[in-house]
Amino acid sequence: MEDSVRNVVIMGSGCAGHTAALYAARANLKPLVLEGHEPGGQLSLTTLVENFPGFPEGILGPELVENMRKQAARFGAEYRIGHVVSADLSKQPITVTVGKETIRTRTLIIATGASARWLGLPNEQALIGHGVSSCATCDGFFFSGKEIAVIGGGDSAMEEALFLTRFASKVTLIHRRDQFRASKIMLDRARQHPNIEFLTDTVVEDVHDPSRKEVTGLQLRNMKTSKSWDFPTSAMFLGIGHIPNAKMFERQLETDQDGYLKTHDYVLTRVPGVFACGDVQDRRYRQAITAAGTGCMAAIEVEKFLEKQGH
């Protein structure tokens, strides 16, 4: 166990965590950032980010998040690779356990983000890494010249489909409805691309073929006609949204029906000294810039909290 009690521990190293770290470091609070199992968060899995202000030509997601990390580290934020196994928020100081180590802290910022959602198909898990993927940036390269499928109807699916046209000979975008959540600009780009085809009102019932350790096709069903058929493809990329990484806190903090942490006054939880920011508490906007914004708020609230406590 660390002897001293820290001022602030930040769980998560995406946009929200890095921004909280930057503000806390500049307030001389010497924040400790626990990077978690997906360092860099969702930005590290994306390509060109065109809607983060300040980059007129856009910036690559991994570069943006790495810059944020460097900026916070320059002001004294300490980064540690480690996955939090448990946290006790019931008394002061709060304790956070990482592996065999227990860290004591006066405040905790939860910026654990959200992770990719899977479809839950019988063969899906067996084929992850063998043609089933939730990260076009990571795995698209392996499917050069192949025909591939992207599932989903939001911006993530459009972005993945567009990105995958760099490698694939054809991308089929499969969506369970004929209405799309995607923004008009992204949807139009995908619709206008000559190598993207749309298959709407269609659900995936399973993916073949685990015995060959590769994706050979999908079993599809039309929602309106109930007709099922086999659809040959070399890969299935999922762009069907995310699940908040808040399970560890479900007994100690309030969550909504989908597991997002509930906050009041922007980033306050019901436990004094515990703040939540970014995608783990934001089911509405879920943008890099809004995650950064709430990260900033959480750090400012930490400052206020510590000041009130006389630290």
Q: Which residues are catalytic?
A: 135, 138-139
Would you count residue 259 as binding ligand NAP (CB under 6 A)? no
* Residues in Cβ contact with 74 at an 8 Å cutoff, skipping those fewer than 6 apart: none
Q: Is 152 in the site for ligand NAP (CB under 6 A)?
A: yes
Give the length of the chain.
311
In angstroms, rounded to a whole number, what is the distance separating the alpha carbons of residues 248 and 84? 9
* C-beta pairs of 209-212 under 8 Å, 24+ apart in sequence: 209/123, 210/123, 210/126, 210/127
Residues 6+ apart with CB under 8 A from 57: none
Q: In sequence order, which ranges of the chain are alpha helices (DSSP H)?
A: 15-26, 61-74, 136-139, 155-164, 184-192, 288-308
Q: Is 241 in the site for ligand NAP (CB under 6 A)?
A: yes
Contact between 154 and ligand NAP by CB under 6 A: the answer reads yes
Residue 240 engages ligand NAP in binding (rule: CB under 6 A): yes
* Residue with Cβ nearer ligand NAP (170 or 221): 221
For residue 286, state whether it binds ligand NAP (rule: CB under 6 A). yes
Q: Which of 30, 181, 189, 193 binds ligand NAP (CB under 6 A)?
A: 181
User: Quick check: 239 binds ligand NAP (CB under 6 A)?
Assistant: yes
Q: Which stretch binds ligand NAP (CB under 6 A): 126-134, 141-149, 155-163, 213-221?
A: 155-163
Site stretch for ligand NAP (CB under 6 A), options 17-25, 83-91, 122-130, 151-159: 151-159
The percent helix, strand, coil of the chain (3-state, each to 5) is: 30, 30, 40
In the complex, which residue's CB is closest to ligand NAP? 154
In three-state secondary structure terms, 43 is helix
Q: Specify the residue, 119 or 300, whose C-beta has the smaller distance to ligand NAP.
A: 119
Residues that bind ligand NAP (CB under 6 A): 51, 119, 151-157, 159, 176-177, 181, 183, 239-242, 286
